[in-house]
Structure 1
């Protein structure tokens, strides 16, 4: 497994509050990683930095695919380089079908000229069918996205990320608001994707994290507090103190 993303010595402050404090983090390809921690631990800021939304005060964020610093790249260029992010609340085109949502997301040339001559090729149709099968929505391609269940909308958004051919997927609290069956489906989906992608899951649901059965990174006050299996980090006295306050 080769290192895909390397965050080294990164710090960032907002109005005097240090949200990220000398954070070092690496993920390989392929790999599934869960990131946990109490509110204010720096989980969202970490994702903001990786995707270019927030620029750190110091440190290095290196993307191994191009041996390039992500800090010199715009958000759009970072996305094109192969980093996809799914926010907690699904953002799909609710007045369009599942099929149309996936078609719009396909990794293809952008811009006015490309849009004028946009054609759905047999390869596009094959890719859409493959993604729909992967996310479990093959039987729903003609349905409007707005009438899907919450869990199905989450899967559709993951599918829209896959349509962009990312190497790294950053997934924020995918289990929130899901039924038990939907959570299980989502965990199994992410585990399958991690066989060929790097997948970082930020999550509060420890039962969901346990089902992921992956390496866990615990953040606290913007730094890595503990890392290892879920059982290992939850037995760490420092983690117990942070979570239980003793």
Structure 2
């Protein structure tokens, strides 16, 4: 494999001095790091390291006690914005378990997800257009579901549902995609296809992958951030961080 590309000097996402405490437990402790505008980054660490809380903070689900989170040219910290405002600004999040409309077709799921004005008045008179149908076909092809558009989402395999949810997020045209444990529950072939998909997506946006599967991360061939007790313990290539004695002690040695 070729070495991973270095991060751009200009950051898309910058987390600075962020801390948050829950009932006396400091889940995030002065966390600071940055993601480039077209970068694939893996985030790893033991349970309780702060990986999920980090994503909760970036997406507005959790409000930290202190710190700032800047995103692109957005003039204010994401911490001052609602979850909906953050999503509209271009931050998309995919949870570990796929959340799709199982009784609707793949095509209908994607049509519902298209980025468009969704005010009650416009929804009342909304009709799909040829442009909408073309975009749905494009999204399905992008995630390998071009031949499954008429199928109900509930009939898809676990991996295919994951790809459909990713396509639904892509319909919102995010500049940053947060993906939680995408390899969990997938077959070997699905994992291979997911690896290729995430690598391709990172050519046009930032993609942050939270994952425990070291082999999956190795195939992503990207920079790795190791979290421990709510802060960055190590950063670099997977080979670099897995040789770090502290990483071995708190994570890999378990």
Q: Do they fold alike, i.e. is TM over 0.5?
A: yes
Question: What's the TM-score bracket when you normalise by the shorter of the two chains?
Answer: over 0.9
Partner residue of 2:3? Answer: none
Partner residue of 1:167? Answer: 175
- The DSSP-based 3-state class of the residue aligned with 1:29 is coil
**Cα distance in 1 between the residues matched to 2:244 and 2:131:** 50
**Cα distance in 1 between the residues matched to 2:33 and 2:152:** 39
2:48 aligned with 1:53: no
**Cα distance in 1 between the residues matched to 2:253 and 2:200:** 36
- The DSSP-based 3-state class of the residue aligned with 2:47 is coil
**Cα distance in 2 between the residues matched to 1:24 and 1:85:** 20
Name which of structure 1's ranges 87-96 and 115-124 shifts more when overlaid on structure 2: 115-124
- Following TM superposition, by how much is the alpha carbon of 1:53 offset from its aligned partner in structure 2, in angstroms? 0.3
Partner residue of 2:18? Answer: 10
Q: Deviations over 1:12-52 (max 9, x none)?
A: 00000000000001101100000000000000000000000
Partner residue of 2:4? Answer: none
Q: Deviations over 1:171-199 (max 9, x none)?
A: 00000000010001001000000000100
User: Structure 2 matches for 1:131-210, cutoff 5 A?
Assistant: 131-210=139-218
2:210 aligned with 1:236: no
Partner residue of 1:120? Answer: 128
Quote the RMSD (CA, aligned, Å): 1.0
- Following TM superposition, by how much is the alpha carbon of 1:244 offset from its aligned partner in structure 2, in angstroms? 4.4
**Cα distance in 2 between the residues matched to 1:128 and 1:100:** 9
- The DSSP-based 3-state class of the residue aligned with 2:42 is strand
**Cα distance in 1 between the residues matched to 2:94 and 2:252:** 29
- Following TM superposition, by how much is the alpha carbon of 1:79 offset from its aligned partner in structure 2, in angstroms? 0.4
The gaps in structure 1 that reach 5 residues or longer are none
What TM-score results when the alignment is normalised by the length of structure 2?
Answer: 0.95
- Following TM superposition, by how much is the alpha carbon of 1:65 offset from its aligned partner in structure 2, in angstroms? 2.8
2:242/2:252 contact within 8 Å kept: no
2:87 aligned with 1:97: no
User: Structure 2 matches for 1:11-90, cutoff 5 A?
Assistant: 11-90=19-98
The gaps in structure 2 that reach 5 residues or longer are 1-7
- The DSSP-based 3-state class of the residue aligned with 2:97 is coil
- Following TM superposition, by how much is the alpha carbon of 1:245 offset from its aligned partner in structure 2, in angstroms? 4.8
- Deviation beyond 2 Å, 4+ runs, structure 1: none
